[in-house]
Amino acid sequence: MAPQLNEDCLSHIFNYLSQSADDIAILFPCALVNRTWCKASMPLLWSNPWAIRSCSDLARRHELLINAYISNLPQHSKDSLANVQINIKAAQRTSAFDYASFLKHLKLSSFGSSVKFWIDRSLKNGIINHDSQQMIHYLIVEHVTKLLLTRSSSLRSLDLRYCDDEMLDCLEILASVLENTTEALDCLIYLKDFKYSGSNQVMPRIFASLTSKCQNIKQL
């Protein structure tokens, strides 16, 4: 029997494949081979989950993405959601992987769009009702933003473009998390790529938080 590749070797191979391909989704079949291949591919697939473009049902993918992060939430955050809307099944599960810990690239407008898709589908499927819609939206953005920033070992790029108007609430929550959660700043130590656009009352707060930790930004 031919020797099996260990997880480290597979990680190097998958990293090469992901850099060579136009879409990191090329690794999806690899994750289905066996447990070892799955463990080796997950960090790459979840390093930039919003970069995956090849998907036949985009709304469903956004829904599954937010469900995965909800299942990663600490129990007190899940309890906050359950107190408002008991039927959120993702809040009743624990995931097999710590998906948030793999995050390397965060585009806030894409995250906000994912939450919006999740809310729309949850309303359609009767998981949440219109009375709790606004509160659930706020809680998910708040708790998942905090999860992503505190669980990610090192964020390499942060894109805050196109966050005016209806995405402004995501920007305000991000600013609040950075100001009030020490662990959220730790993942930004190795931030190299920072993008933003426009001018609003929230950005100066974010700049103030970033300047206290970010010394390695190469691209603005």
Domain co-membership, 106 together with 158 = yes
| Number of domains into which the chain is organized | 2
The per-residue pLDDT for 5 is 75
Q: Looking at the structure, do residues 8 and 111 belong to the same domain, yes or no?
A: no
CA–CA gap between residue 184 and residue 162 (Å, rounded): 22
Q: Is 188 helix (H, G, I), strand (E, B) or coil?
A: coil
The residue out of 45, 61, 80 marking a domain boundary is 45
Q: Are residues 5 and 33 in the same domain?
A: yes
Tokens standing for residue 142: 């708040």
Q: Do 3 and 109 fall into the same domain?
A: no
In a domain, 24, yes or no: yes
Q: Is the domain of 146 the same as that of 190?
A: yes
Residue 195, in any domain of the structure = yes
Owner of token pair 């191979």 = 13
Residues 110 and 129 in one domain: yes
Count of other CB atoms within 10 angstroms of residue 57: 9
Measuring CA to CA, how many Å separate 57 from each of 63, 107, 153?
10, 20, 30
Main-chain dihedrals φ then ψ at residue 32, nearest 5 degrees: -100, 0
Domain that holds residue 74: 46-211
DSSP tally for the chain: helices H, then strands E: 10, 3
pTM summary value: 0.86
**Distance of CA 168 to CAs 58, 113, 160, 203, Å?**
23, 12, 10, 10
27 and 106, same structural domain?
no
Shared domain for 83 and 9, answered yes or no, is no
pLDDT below 70 — which residues of the chain?
1-3, 20-26, 52-57, 86-87, 90-91, 216-220
Residue 165: the pLDDT is 75
